[in-house]
Amino acid sequence: MTGRWNTLQLNRDARLRRAQQSLGTQLVGKILSSERIVDLLHAVIESGDRVCLEGNNQKQADFLSSALTGLDAGRVHDLHILQSVLALPEHLDIFEKGIASKLDFSFSGPQAGRLAKLASSGKLNIGAIHTYLELYARYFIDLTPRVALVAAQAADRFGNLYTGANTEDTPTIVEATAFKAGVVIAQVNEIVDTLPRIDIPAGWVDFVVEPPTPHYIEPLFTRDPALISEIQVLMAMMAIKGIYAEYQVERLNHGIGFDTAAIELLLPTYAASLGLKGKIARYWALNPHPALIPAIEAGFVESVYSFGSELGMEDYIRARPDVFFVGADGSMRSNRALCQAAGHYACDMFIGSTLQIDLQGNSSTATLGRISGFGGAPNMGADARGRRHASPAWLKAGQQARAGKNQIPRGQKLVVQIVETFREHMHPAFVETLDAWQLAEQANMAIPPVMIYGDDVTHILTEEGIANLLLCRGEEEREQAIRGVAGYTPVGLARDQRMVDNLRDRGVIQRAEDLGIDKRLATRDLLAAKSMKDLVRASGGLYQPPKRFRNW
Amino acid sequence: MTGRWNTLQLNRDARLRRAQQSLGTQLVGKILSSERIVDLLHAVIESGDRVCLEGNNQKQADFLSSALTGLDAGRVHDLHILQSVLALPEHLDIFEKGIASKLDFSFSGPQAGRLAKLASSGKLNIGAIHTYLELYARYFIDLTPRVALVAAQAADRFGNLYTGANTEDTPTIVEATAFKAGVVIAQVNEIVDTLPRIDIPAGWVDFVVEPPTPHYIEPLFTRDPALISEIQVLMAMMAIKGIYAEYQVERLNHGIGFDTAAIELLLPTYAASLGLKGKIARYWALNPHPALIPAIEAGFVESVYSFGSELGMEDYIRARPDVFFVGADGSMRSNRALCQAAGHYACDMFIGSTLQIDLQGNSSTATLGRISGFGGAPNMGADARGRRHASPAWLKAGQQARAGKNQIPRGQKLVVQIVETFREHMHPAFVETLDAWQLAEQANMAIPPVMIYGDDVTHILTEEGIANLLLCRGEEEREQAIRGVAGYTPVGLARDQRMVDNLRDRGVIQRAEDLGIDKRLATRDLLAAKSMKDLVRASGGLYQPPKRFRNW
């Protein structure tokens, strides 16, 4: 081949040669000594490269990320960074230093404010904000990485990788890069003779480095039951009786937060008392939430497939292989791409919280001065219109949406937004206009960043009740149904009381009492665990919460 | 562990022990001599098991499938078969023999008639029909396999697998099974000392068997250019000028068939003459269609990521690594799950054919007496409502759909149905009522099997013109727009001529002449290749069509 059709391979060969020349005996097979990492990056990264940096919800290739900041911006600049989660300050330092200039990503949580500043200063050009699976999808179409910087638990001398429980994005990133003549560099916590299992074959990996300290993992899915309020208990009761039981929801995903943690902790108590064991919440696409332990122990949960893992849950998962997906070594294999596909196509319901909901039911966590992205919510909280298999929940939601319309029958995913009408600092959750509009203008986005669109939302649940948007006929009813559960927010106070009463008569709005729920029972006594210690106890001592959650 | 939480692992251990006992020295490590395959299956499969049998669009685990038919139905029965494609007679024999009783699948092509008969006789209970990614998603939620029977190109003595170009479903099936204590059996064409590359690590595989003959692969994506009609050339011109150019479609998927093959063959001629090189059709989620060779050679195509491979394209792919995804060994790695995700989320357009379209734009290939499924079309031909990144095509489609509506801006995928108004045997493609309704009743389905729903379709393209459904306001306009391109079918003849004229004035309907297309130029001369031999020539002799396509 002369180079007309194999420029990527020839270019890759040149990069690998440069690495050999630059590193000499500091490179043994694929293994590099960690103090030479910047030299390796200088050798294999070229200006303008698309570089996929592994930053997940939890696992961070932090050593490689920090090494990137050490590049000489005179030699390497204008990198186009692909990264699902920007969690660490160094993720943005490379833009400040002029090493990178473009970013495609999914979520930026703690860095959202600084990201917005860099974007408006012109130092960082945002390609787009994606939901996770969408970003991975582009790795195979128009955003294929030239270089991937990933993290694993261990490697052997050949370069085989063991990811341990936090497999997450690694296999997908490596597959996209390795099979288009890219360069794959992995940081691993240890190099061993024999791996507990192989998650990624050595042939897909070019370089392995063992940093002085293990990679960072964020315990993102732990919620202390002590912080769950009685309002959240009441909302959880309404969710279980008014939605889970009503639609027979067997397969589901829970968003992160205290609202859904409350539901998880009410399964073995309140839901069990309603005779729902074995009837709802059997199959999950979910990180291993500690709050799910009591429901698992009660036999409520048959299977949990996970996007990533959760710190402290390792021994518990290992001891519950009937429930979790684990390898022959006993530790979990999570896979974010496949779990997002599962959440999209194999779940009947997504339920999660948000910051703002407008009168059409559009919701967003985007607020002024912060560009945070939405992670998995858009993928999970969208009707999966390619879905063709039926379930009672899906059929019933579809029937409600299409009743009285001249349309061919079709099912629909349940997408539930669960929010208290006022959030922290008395900010109303219901607004006339989303901050997303202003943010779009500020940040020069093509359209406002909406997390979940109103026409995908089926229910809004607040402490005031449930609004079933599937049953609304027309925009006006939809607006009043939303106002009718918006409590004492300005949006709620501006309701048309007669229309709201009518919607309640028709069951479009349901209050706790309409569901036969006695509000006096909505106390913390219903929680299957009231503290972190209770969760540890429920796990038989197998769950070992990270220090910051240990208050005893 | 006592067995309360590890029943799957204990059960797996028992199965492996039975295999050891039954096979003795016939089992060397993980390698089994092929004549003992039925004994192995008797040892490791239990009645009622969910068994995932690898049947893809192309690659078939045919030896294992045929071995299944040799099971004693007295010992093993009521298997629940999970299989993406039912292509071979033996796939149904196991139901006739009472070995299996339940089926969850995606596509049954050639077996669709027999499948319908078995279903109505009660010998086969259909769980559901899925699109591919949806079925894989359920492998991780509520349809996790106990036993997986897969096919690969080669294995080494440890059980590492090399899939070659037809990787397809294998990694996904094995991942779901191996990490939930299931049993994985692979048939391989050869056992070698050193694999060209490792696609699946040995630790995920329990047994390997080398059958007397290599596994079957179907060349499903080859279309002989000699069979493309001038009507198809005309339709391809309209597609390119009226849709690809109009929306600047850079990332796309083509359905299978002569209609789309014609478009592929017009890229280096007609599209190039319009100055569209580098502006449309740059990034593809597509099997390696031979008809795409001229466009690749002309530099139209930057990247192709594939679901599977195509027989005869091996050497061509190997010589074009800048375009295709290949491993270090030079052969392709396809991955159907990831490519379906890419087709859903990273493509701006899906264009494909169908058998029937109704007045709401719902389309289906389901016909009476045949239960065929829809493969990837529902996933690719649905608006990806979780998508959040913008592109010109996506924004423009979304603007057209929402013009004049009080809705928050949102993009939309282009979903184009391309059909001649009459199909084979003068069956009209446009109908008042889909056969799917009657089939649903016959086969006792919850809802009619629709391939692509009308509310996901954006354009219908026939030899009479393009109907842009995005621009229709209300059901009546939509119906007339469809009638207005339905030609001399009864549906077309029943059009309201005044409304159709009005729709044409508004650009909702566009005829060839409205697009500035001179119909006299729509000849086969525009095809970049007019025969299989031309395709071979265009490839520089690298493409080697299977015998059945060689007519010289």
- Chain B contact present for A164, CB below 8 A: no
Cβ burial, residue B324 (10 Å; 0-12/13-18/19+): buried
Phi first, then psi: give them for residue B185, nearest 5 degrees. -120, 130
CA distance B138 to chain A (A): 5
* Structure confidence by residue, pLDDT tens digits, A88-97: 999 999 999 9
Could you tell me the pLDDT band of residue B2, with boundaries at 50, 70 and 90? Answer: low
Q: Which residues of B touch A203 (CB under 8 A)?
A: 197-198, 327-328
- Looking at this predicted complex, what is its ipTM? 0.97
Any idea what DSSP says for residue B29?
T
| Number of Cβ atoms within 10 Å of the Cβ of B267 | 25
Please report the pLDDT score of residue A368 as a whole number: 84
User: What is the rounded CA–CA span in Å between residue A251 and residue A282?
Assistant: 6
User: Which residues have CB under 8 Å from A156's CB, separation 6+?
Assistant: A191, A192, A193, A194, A195, A202
Residue of A nearest to B2 (CA): A319
- Give the Å distances, CA to CA, from B186 to A33, B132, B154, B190, B540: 39, 21, 9, 11, 36
Closest CA to B387 of A411, A351, A384, A439: A384
In three-state secondary structure terms, B471 is helix
Residue type, A355: L
Tokens matching residue B178 = 């191996």
Distance in angstroms (rounded) separating the CA atoms of residues B180 and A349: 23
Is residue A1 pLDDT above 60, yes or no? no
**CB neighbours of B297 closer than 8 A, spacing ≥ 6?**
B268, B538, B539
- Using CA atoms, how far apart are residues A386 and B392, in angstroms rounded to an integer? 23
**How many whole angstroms from its chain centre is CA B28?**
37
pLDDT range class, residue B444, cuts 50, 70, 90: confident
Tokens linked to B501: 């004229």
CB atoms B338 and A175 under 8 Å: yes
8 Å CB contact of A5 and B323: yes
**Separation of alpha carbons B305 and B83, rounded Å:** 23
Secondary structure of residue B462 in the 3-state scheme: strand
Terminal Cα-to-Cα distance of chain B (whole angstroms)? 67
Distance from CA of A345 to the nearest CA of B (A): 5
* pLDDT of res. A308: 97
pLDDT tier, B552 (very low <50, low <70, confident <90, very high otherwise): confident
User: How far apart are the C-alpha atoms of A74 and B253, rounded to whole Å?
Assistant: 40
CB atoms within 10 A of CB A490: 12
Look at chain A and count its residues.
Answer: 552
CATH code of the domain made up of B15-217 = 3.40.1080.10
Burial class, A413, CB count within 10 angstroms (exposed 0-12 / middle 13-18 / buried 19+): buried
Average pLDDT over residues A26-31: 96
The CATH number that domain B225-533 falls under is 3.40.1080.10
Confidence (pLDDT) at B404? 85
CB contact under 8 A, A142 and B197: no
Give chain A's radius of gyration (CA, Å). Answer: 25
Distances (CA, A) of A105 to A53, A56, A112, A129, B421: 10, 11, 12, 5, 44
Q: Which residues fall within 8 angstroms of residue B467, CB to CB, at 6 or more apart?
A: B459, B460, B461, B481, B482, B484, B485, B503, B508, B509
Helix (H, G, I), strand (E, B) or coil at B352: strand
pLDDT at A551 (0 to 100): 79
Higher pLDDT, A246 or A404: A246
Strands B79-85, A27-28: pairing is unpaired
What pLDDT, on a 0 to 100 scale, did the predictor assign at position B406?
A: 84
Q: Give the chain B residue nearest A253 (alpha carbons).
A: B141
In DSSP terms, which residues pair with B102 in a beta bridge? Answer: B80, B125
| Contacts for B171 with CB less than 8 Å, ≥ 6 apart | B163, B199, B200, B335, B337
- Report residue B462 as tokens: 């026939």
pLDDT at B294 over 90: yes
Residues of B in contact with A322 (CB under 8 A): 5-9
The confidence score (pLDDT) of residue B57 equals: 86
- Residue B2 CB-density burial (10 A; 0-12 exposed, 13-18 middle, 19+ buried): exposed
- CB neighbours of residue A195 within 10 Å: 24
What is the tens place of the pLDDT at every residue in B404-422? 888 899 999 999 999 999 9
> Which residue in the block uniquely carries the two structure tokens 């022990």?
B17
- Tens digits of residue pLDDT in A257-303: 999 999 999 999 999 999 999 999 999 999 999 999 999 999 999 99
Mean pLDDT of B430-439: 95
State mean pLDDT over B477-482: 98
Q: What average pLDDT is seen over chain A? A: 96
Nearest CB to A128; choose among B358, B386, B389: B389
Contacts with A374 from chain B: Cβ below 8 Å: 388
- Nearest to residue B127, comparing CAs of A122, A106, A534, A389? A389
Domains B15-217 and B225-533 share a fold: yes
| SS3 assignment, position B144 | coil
Q: Check CB contact of A104 with chain B, cutoff 8 Å.
A: yes
Q: How many CB atoms lie within 10 A of CB B548?
A: 9
| Predicted local confidence at residue B271, as pLDDT | 98
Percent of chain A past pLDDT 90, that is, above it, reads 93
Which residues are bridge partners to A305 per DSSP?
A285
Average pLDDT score over residue span A429-436? 96
HSE-up (13 A, CA, CB side) for residue A498: 0
**Does B142 sit within 8 Å of A344, measured CB to CB?**
no
* Interface-testing mutation among A302, A339, A364, A385, with chain B (most B C-beta atoms within 10 A): A385
Any CB–CB contact under 8 A between B142 and chain A? yes
Contact B389 A130 (CB under 8 A): yes
Nearest neighbour of B337 by CB, restricted to A104, A338, A408? A338
Q: Do residue B320 and residue A5 have CB atoms under 8 angstroms apart?
A: yes
- Pairs across A and B, CB distance < 8 A: 281
B200, B170 contact by CB (below 8 A): yes
The pLDDT assigned to A57 comes to 86
pLDDT at A218: 87
The DSSP result for A25-60, as a single string, is GGEETTEE-GGGHHHHHHHH--TT-EEEE-B-SSEE
pLDDT for position A2: 55
Considering only residues B379 and B217, tell me which one the structure prediction assigns the higher pLDDT.
Answer: B379
Lay out the sheet containing B349-352: strands in order across. Answer: B303-305, B283-285, B251-254, B349-352, B414-418, B459-462, B465-468, B509-510
Shortest Cα distance from B32 to chain A (angstroms)?
21
How many angstroms separate the CA of residue A142 from the nearest CA in chain B?
6
On whether any CB of chain A is under 8 Å from the CB of B236, the answer is no
Q: Residue B99 has what DSSP assignment?
A: S
Within 13 Å, how many C-alpha atoms sit on residue A213's CB side? Answer: 7
Task: List phi, psi (to 5°) of A15.
Answer: -65, -45
CB contact residues (below 8 A), chain A span 29-88, against chain B: none
Residue B391, amino acid: S
pLDDT higher than 70, residue B505: yes
Q: Tell whether A327 is within 8 A of chain B (Cβ).
A: yes
Q: Give yes or no for a contact between A86 and A105, defined as CB atoms under 8 angstroms apart.
A: yes
B51, B91 in Cβ contact below 8 A?
no
Pairing of strands A414-418, A459-462: parallel
Give the C-alpha separation, B251 to B255, whole Å. 14
- DSSP 8-state code for residue B411: -
Residue B424: pLDDT over 90: no
Backbone angles phi, psi at A527, to 5 degrees: -70, 130
Query: For the residues A301-322, what does the mean pLDDT come to?
Result: 97
Q: Is A161 helix (H, G, I), strand (E, B) or coil?
A: strand
pLDDT beyond 60 at A409:
yes
Q: What is the pLDDT of residues B363-397, one digit of tens each?
A: 998 888 889 999 999 999 999 999 999 999 999 99
What mean pLDDT, rounded, does chain B reach?
96
Query: Cα(A375)–Cα(A355) distance, rounded to whole angstroms?
Result: 15
Q: Do B335 and A175 make contact, defined as CB atoms within 8 angstroms? A: yes
Residue B125 CA to residue B112 CA, distance in Å, equals 14
Nearest-CA distance A100 → chain B (Å): 20
Residue B429, burial from CB neighbour count under 10 angstroms (0-12, 13-18, 19+): buried
Q: Which CATH superfamily is domain A11-217 in?
A: Glutaconate Coenzyme A-transferase (3.40.1080.10)
Distance from C-alpha of A114 to C-alpha of A129, rounded to nearest angstrom:
16
Q: Do A408 and B130 touch (CB under 8 A)?
A: no
Reported as a single tens digit per residue, the pLDDT across B17-76 is: 999 999 999 999 999 999 999 999 999 999 999 999 999 989 999 999 999 999 999 999
Tokens 């970013």 — which residue?
A103
Q: Predicted confidence band at B109 (pLDDT cuts at 50, 70, 90)? A: confident
Chain position carrying tokens 């799910």: A292
* Domain locations along chain B: 15-217, 225-533
Cβ neighbours of residue B441 under 8 Å, at least 6 residues apart?
Answer: none
